[in-house]
Structure 1
Amino acid sequence: MEWVRTLAVVVGGVLLLWLVLLALLWRARTDELTARTALRLLPDVVRLVRRLAADGSLPRGVRVRLWLLLGYLLMPIDLVPDFIPVLGYADDVIVVAWTLRSVTRRAGAGALARHWPGEPGGLALVSRLAGVPPAGAPRG
């Protein structure tokens, strides 16, 4: 039954990370951000990171940073332990934002827009978080 507890902790952690990400991003939201777009943001960001990491046209250093980010998020040991309410997952959100900012400054806003799987409002918010002007938002 230890696996059930582990699964519950992982699911709870992902849910809490999602809520913290929503709260931080809602605070920095743009006018285009709807509630529906906000709810889709975490899955879209995860797909964005995976797509960027797999893009062979991006510089190797950028792809390495993204794979390291995915590894960090999967690691059970964090800068702030995940069992600490809110703060435990806030460090993950900060690491994601910092990495996206670094990646988009090197790869450009075009790469972000090219791989964005969600709605334009979500792309505008993620672009703002990454510190770059939003580009057109292809859907797909």
Structure 2
Amino acid sequence: MEAWWRGLAVAAVVVLLSWSVLVLLARRLPPGIARDLARFLPDSVTAVRRLRRHPAVPRRAKGALLLAGLWVLSPVDLIPEFLPVIGPLDDVVVVALALRYAGRRVPRDVLLAAWPGERRVLERLLGPAGAPEA
């Protein structure tokens, strides 16, 4: 049983280290797609924290965002986190889908106000303003 706990602790440390690398990369990369991708998960975490208590966010959108957050925290991934660069891609895809879902149900100005990163990244993810609901 002790070996199991040790393995779990090592996995948690690896995940935290990979997130730390993402944050460091986001600060050191030149402007561009790589920097936007590296900043996406930290910016998403901040946005989800801000949106979870906002009264304009419906329960279903909060649920989708919560599930995306649990996916990011889960040690089970489609692509293992310890693989450099591509490890967090499944997390990015899940969070992007949850934000698009929330973007159809939450007023755009609320989402943009909650987003701490560059506005153009979220606007590109959400699509043009006034786009028809799917």
Deviations 1:72-125 (A, max 9, x none): 111110122223333221111111112111111221312212323x36xx1222
Point out the more displaced range, 75-84 or 92-101. 75-84
Partner of 2:10: 5
Could you tell me which runs of 5 or more consecutive residues in structure 2 were left unpaired when the two chains were aligned.
130-134
Partner of 1:46: 45
Deviations 1:44-97 (A, max 9, x none): 321111111222332111011011111111111012222333322111111111
1:131 counterpart = 2:120? no
Q: TM-score, normalised by structure 1?
A: 0.66
Letter in 2 for 1:125: V
SS in 2 for 1:62: helix
Q: Tell me the number of residue pairs that the alignment of Structure 1 and Structure 2 aligns.
A: 121
Q: TM-score, normalised by structure 2?
A: 0.68
Partner of 1:63: 62
Equivalent of residue 27 in structure 1, options 27, 33, 45:
33
SS in 1 for 2:87: helix
Bigger radius of gyration, 1 or 2?
Answer: 2
- Provide the C-alpha distance between the structure 1 equivalents of 2:41 and 2:71, rounded to a whole number of angstroms: 16
- Provide the C-alpha distance between the structure 2 equivalents of 1:98 and 1:86, rounded to a whole number of angstroms: 20
CA contact (8 A) 1:109 1:132 kept: no
- Provide the C-alpha distance between the structure 1 equivalents of 2:39 and 2:22, rounded to a whole number of angstroms: 13
